[in-house]
Each structure stands twice: as structure tokens, then as C-alpha cells.
Amino acid sequence: MKTARPMSVAGYLFVGPAMLYLGVFTLLPMVVAAYLSVHRWHLLKPDRPFVGWDNYRRLLEDPFFVNAIRNTVVFTALSVPLGIAIALAAAVLLNRGLPGIRVFRTIFYVPSVCSQVALSMIWIWVTLPHVGFVNWLVGSANALLGTSFATDVNYLQRFPMISVVLLFIWNGLGPRMVIFLAGLQNIPETLYEAARVDGASGWQRFRYVTLPLLMPTTFFIVVTTTIAALQIFTPIYVMTQGGPNRATDVVVFHIYKEAWHKFHIGQASAMSYVLFSIILTISLLQFWAMKRRSDMIAESA
Amino acid sequence: MRSEFERRHPGVRIQIENIPGEGQYVPKLLMMFVAKKAPDVMHLDASYASVFIDNDLLLDLTPEIKSDDSFRLDDYFTNVVDVARRGDKLFAIPLDFTPIVLYYNKRLFDEAKVAYPAKGWNCDDFLAKAKALTIDNHKEPGKKQYGMHFINWMPLWIPWVWTEGGDVLSPDGRHAEGYFDSDKTIRAVEFLASLITKYHVAPTHSEAAAAGVDLFRAGRAAMHIAGHWMIIDYRSDGIDFGVAMLPTNAASPKTVVYESGLAINRSTKKRELAWEYVKFMTSAEVQKVRVSGGLAISAQKEVAQYYASDEQERTFLNAVEFASGPWGARVEPYAVVEDLGREMMEDIVNGTPVPDAVHKTCRLIDLELSQQ
């Protein structure tokens, strides 16, 4: 008992700065936002009455907020499975003892080191009509094959959601791939040897050895990627401003506009809480599914 | 000019704070007000003046004007001054302004043997000219010539609504019902949309975007609606252009005027000095230098006349008489209304029937106004 006290003091000292940070920059703002969300709080109006659930009730009547939720769901549903599948494929490809493999790992990681704003600017250029990279590719193909596909397509205007999804996947590829790589390297080689002895094909080894043993890693990536996708903001702000015609108006961008273009701080806080509830629910569901799965495995074992 | 002011007022230092980024000026400046760090003097643009005026952030300048014999409000264009007025209170002294007018490319008119826009022309005249100036290019559809370049930006197309006798909001600015969904407004929107969807004399948004150039500057659109700011580019491009009032179906032509003025922070601690600075910056002496670039027209009649050397410039000055300030100078959430208007036009071009789109947008505008 006597040694426990200094130990715990040291422990608190270690977590202290992090707790302070969490308290000041996360918990406190959450409490303040909860307070704001039940008040009509215009940035510049001195009159800030308590309105109860009114801000939340209004959200249901706001067709643009409903649209933002729908866009966010579509964005997440597209970008999470695709982003994870591509990262896993890249990790498997890069998890080989080839010479110079580290160079490739670095190259794949580079987009994640760049600022999202810079990446978004590059992505705008990629999608531009005539001078953009995609149209340049099409133009080169035309010249090579004698075809005449259009090179004046503004891909960002034509496929706004897909454009942003692709950027998100590209941007987040690095960290996801590295985590997958770490997971892959934790799988003992002996298991693959055993599988090989049993006559398992490459696909079977991936399906019955790699995937199940990678489950904890995959779970972590699914949860974090889902949260990141639900909170997408920067590329939307830089590339589309929610357009064309609100086709990419996602929840966080909508909140930003509500707060800083319309100055409806109370309304924006209510939106934040709705998004928070959605994220919390989805994350809890994911944890529940994961636990159910591991319970089933434990039972069958 | 800042150093000239500092020279004349020893011990005074003017610190200029620029706020870069499209659409960032208003939020940033408002945050400075909330944090009580707002500047003593600030630019106030007509398009968002209401946000500052109606939240009591600015000083009423009438006492200053009355007690200062060296300042004469009559030196400025009344219609421009009035943009920042509330009853007998005035919240900004205008620096410069531009009415929205119609530019036309004389060469394209001559080639098509179409007469230049005449005084008092109406929308039918306009459509006839636009049709005559539209040239389909069958060999290269991407190189079509348009009668008019259309930019879906509500601040530029609002005069079309006014000229049909329609409007966006009720005179008190409180609601849209009965105005934005009136027959006159619907007729105006229908006419505008038909230029793109029915007559194809103006490009759709994607056609214009795909061109990758400003169609008017490239000589591929014969007419364009814009403000004085475009004159710089047109002159440097060497375009032989004319300027006309927008066509009108009403008794007299109508247009909108955008102005920019200087306002004083209500809680400034240097009231006299701030007024001196506003007076100095809006004076004829400084204005002469300020507007020499051609971005806008000086709100000082004397300076404006000084630069009105040619026919184009004179058309701008004549337009002032028929111009009124934008709703944004009087209605706080008007920026949101303008976004809704742009989205409505996009929907219409994409196939939504005009009455449906107008009624839907009207409801959304009223929903927005009710949240204030």
C-alpha cells in the first residue's frame, strides 16, 4: 500500500498534461456546445434566450441539413470500404522482402504528410477541363489510339462526390497502410508455412490466415476511418464549397456555414450534437459487432 | 495615401489590416467586433452593409457631417450615399461604386450586322439581338459564339428581376412571399432561363466552364452583364466594346449599384481622428488617385466627371440615376438569399420548371428570414 501512493502521483503527473489538454480543448467545448445548442445564440445579438429543443426540432425541418446528412452518409459509405480495401492491398503488396521496398512505402506515405489544402489544390488541377491531368491522359490516349473522347470534362463539376472520395482515399492511404503493415508483420510466418504444407493457395492463405489474424488491426482502421469520413471538411472547403448545388455539402461544412456565414451559433451547436450522436452510435455498433465476433470465435474454439 | 495622412497628422500611425480570402472579410471583421478588437475605420461594402449597420456596430455619421463645415455630402452621388442610410442616419461615406451594366462587343455586332443597343431598348429587342449574334459552330460545337455570356451570380442578375417589376423581398425586407413568387418575378426568371434552355443564346454553367476562358473576353459572347471592374480587363485586351443600360420592360431602366464606403466603429476611442481619416480618404484629392486604376467609379461627383472622358464612362454615370442599392445593404441574411437564388437558377437550367423552383426557393428564403 505504501508504494502505491507515489506510484499514483507519478501516474497522474504523466497523464496530467494530456488530461488538461483533453479537458480544455475537448470536454469544456463539449459542455459549452451543449449549452449553446439549447439557446438561440446569434453571434451579434445580445438577446440569447433559452429555447429548449427548438434548435433540434428545426433541424428536422431544414431540408439542407437533411441533405448534408445524406451526403455525409454517402461519402462515408463510399470512402470507408474503398479506402480500407486499397490500403490493405497496398500493405500486402509492400509487405514483401523485395529490394528497395522501403522506397515504395515512403512514396505511398507522402500524400499523408502533405497538408490537406495542398492536396486539394492538386486534386482540383487533376480534375480541370483541358489542362487537368485526367483530361491530359484522355487526350494522350486519343492521340495514341486515334479515338476522340472528350477532353473538356470538368470532373469536379461532373462527379463532385467521387472526386472528393478519391482525394480522401489517397490522402489517408499512408497511415492506414502503415498500420496494416504493422499488423501483417505481426502474423507469424510459421502459420503461412503450415498453411502451405496443408496445400492452401495464395488466396486461401490470405482469406483464412491473413484476414482473421488482421481483424484487430482492421477493426481499429474501420473505426478511425469511419470517424474521419463522417467529419470530412477541409477538401470540401477547398475543392467544392459544398457544391455544385450542395451535392457535396457534408455535415461539418454545413455546421461551419451555419456558424460563420449565418452566425447561428446555437443552431450550429445543435447540428454538432446530432453529428456527435451519429458518430457515437456508429462507433458503438462497430464495437458491439467486433465483440460479438470475438465471442463467437472464442465459443467455437 | 496613408503616409500622406500621417504626414498631415503628426504622431498618428495608420495600421492597415488586410483580410485575404474570398468571403472571409465579414466573418473575420465580425469576430474582431465580438473580441472588441475591431478597427476604428473599416471598409463597408453595400452587399453586406446590413450585417454591420443592423447589429449596431457602426457610428452614425450625421453629427460629424453636421458639425463639420469642410465636408459637403452633396459632393457625392445621392443614390450611392443612400445605400448606407437608415432613415436620417448615415453609416458610411462612399468611396467608390459601380452600377451593373451591359457590355457589348462592337466587332461582333458589326460582323452580324446588328445595331448597337439603343436607349430604352426592351427585353424583346435584347432577345432578337442575342439570337442574331448566336452562331452555331457545326464543325466545332465547343467553339460556338453566344449572344450573351451568363454568369449565375444573383448580384449580377437581380436587375433583370427589377426591370420586369418583380422583386425578391417585401419593401420592409421581412418576407419573400408575394414578391419573389410574384408573376413578375417568375416572368423575369423564366426569361433569363429561356436564354439558356430555350433559345441557347447563353451558355449553361458547364458549357461556360468547359470553354475554360471568359467567353466575352475571348470574343465568343457578344454581350455580358457586369460592373465597372471588368473595364480594366477589356481595355487591356483591346476589345472594342460599348456599354449600355440593361434592357427594360418597365417605364424607366433599372439597375443595381454596388458601392464601397468607409464606416467608423461605434466604440472607437478616436472618434475625431477616425472622422478625419474617413474625410481624407473620401476626399476628391485622394479619390482622384484611388480610382485611377479603373476598378470602380469615384462616389465624388467631381472626380467621377473628371474620369468620364468617353462614352462608356458616361453610360456608367448616367446609370446611377436609375440605380438602387442591393438588398444586402438592408437585409442581414441576404448573402444566404443570394446563394438560394443561384441554386434555384442552377436547378432551373437543369430542368426544374420555373414556377416550382421559384416557389420552393421563396419558401426557403422565408424560412431563412424567420430564423433571424
**pLDDT tens-place string over residues A126-169:** 888 777 888 888 888 888 888 878 777 788 888 899 999 999 99
What is the tens place of the pLDDT at every residue in B81-102? 999 999 899 999 999 989 999 9
B34 with B176, same domain: the answer is: no
Overall average pLDDT of the B118-127 stretch: 90
User: What's the one-letter identity of residue A227?
Assistant: I
- Whether residue B309 sits in one domain with residue B294: yes
B334 touches chain A (CB under 8 A): no
Q: Which amino acid is at B75?
A: D
Q: In terms of domains, do B313 and B364 share one?
A: no
Q: What is the pLDDT of residue B128?
A: 92
pLDDT digits (tens, 9 = 90+) for B347-369: 898 889 999 999 999 999 998 88
Cis ω on the peptide bond leading into residue A244 (within 30° of 0)? yes
Residue A162 lies in a domain: yes
Distances (CA, A) of B285 to A30, B3, B117, B306: 54, 14, 36, 12
B137 and B225 housed in the same domain: yes
Q: Please check whether residue B152 is in contact with residue B346, taking contact to mean a CB–CB distance below 8 angstroms.
A: yes
Predicted confidence at residue A78, as pLDDT, reads 95
Both B268 and B184 in a single domain?
no
Q: What is the pLDDT of residue B141?
A: 64
Q: Are residues B324 and B339 in the same domain?
A: no
Q: Identify whether A60 is part of a domain.
A: no
Comparing CB atoms, the residue among B23, B142, B343 nearest residue A245 is B343
Phi-psi region of B65 (alpha: psi -120 to 50; beta: other; left: phi over 0): alpha
Q: How far apart are CA B117 and CA B103, in angstroms?
A: 10
Average pLDDT over residues A184-212: 87
On whether both B106 and B87 belong to a single domain, the answer is: no
Kindly report the CATH number assigned to the domain that includes residue A143.
1.10.3720.10
Tell me: do B200 and B307 sit in the same domain: no
Q: Is the pLDDT of residue B167 over 80?
A: yes
Looking at the domain assignment, is residue A2 inside a domain? no
Domain that holds residue B8: 2-99+256-329
What number of helices (H) and strands (E) belong to chain B?
17, 11
Q: How crowded is residue A185: how many other Cβ atoms within 10 Å of its Cβ?
A: 11
pLDDT > 80? residue B23 = no
C-alpha distances (whole Å) from A241 to each of A68, A176, A246, B82 are: 13, 27, 8, 34
Tell me phi and psi for residue B265, to 5 degrees: -60, 130
Q: Nearest Cβ partner of B210 from A42, A152, A267?
A: A152
Complex ipTM more than 0.90, yes or no:
no
User: And the C-alpha cell for A147?
Assistant: 479515338
- The answer to whether residues B371 and B210 touch, using CB atoms and an 8 Å cutoff, is no
- Same-domain pairing of B135 and B164: yes
Distance separating alpha carbons of residues B144 and B221, to the nearest angstrom: 9
In the predicted structure, residue A256 carries a pLDDT above the cut 90:
yes
Q: Which residue has the higher pLDDT, B193 or B213?
A: B193
Residue A277's Cβ-side half-sphere holds a number of Cα atoms within 13 Å equal to 8
- Looking at residue A3, its pLDDT comes to 54
Residue A274 CA, distance from chain mean position = 18
Smallest CA–CA distance from A64 into chain B, residue: B364
| C-alpha dihedral (A221, A227, A231, A236), degrees to nearest 10 | 30
Same domain, B14 and B145: no
Closest to B365 measured CA to CA, from B161, B179, B151: B179
Instruction: Tell me whether residues B371 and A260 touch, CB distance under 8 A.
Output: no
Query: How far is Cα B169 from Cα A7, in angstroms, rounded to an integer?
Result: 69
A interface with B, Cβ–Cβ below 8 Å: 42-45, 58, 61-63, 129-131, 152-154, 157-158, 244-246, 260-264, 267
Same-domain check for residues B81 and B204: no
Distance from the B201 Cα atom to the nearest Cα atom in chain A, whole angstroms: 21
Compute the mean pLDDT over every residue in chain A, rounded to the nearest whole number: 87
Domain count, chain A: 1
Q: What confidence score (pLDDT) does residue A6 get?
A: 67
What grid cell was written down for B78? Answer: 445621392
Q: Does B206 lie in the same domain as B194?
A: yes
Model confidence pLDDT, tens digit, residues A99-118: 888 888 888 888 888 888 98
CA angle B284, B285, B291 (to 5 degrees): 75
The range of the structural domain enclosing residue A198 comes to 70-239
Question: Which amino acid is located at A97 in the chain?
Answer: G
How many Å apart are CA B7 and CA B3, to the nearest integer?
6
Q: How many domains does chain B have?
A: 2
Structure confidence by residue, pLDDT tens digits, A273-296: 999 999 999 999 999 988 888 888
Residue A97 backbone phi and psi in degrees, to 5: -80, 40
In this model, does residue A270 exceed pLDDT 80? yes
Identify the CATH number of the domain in which residue B240 sits.
3.40.190.10
The mean pLDDT value for A197-210 works out to 86
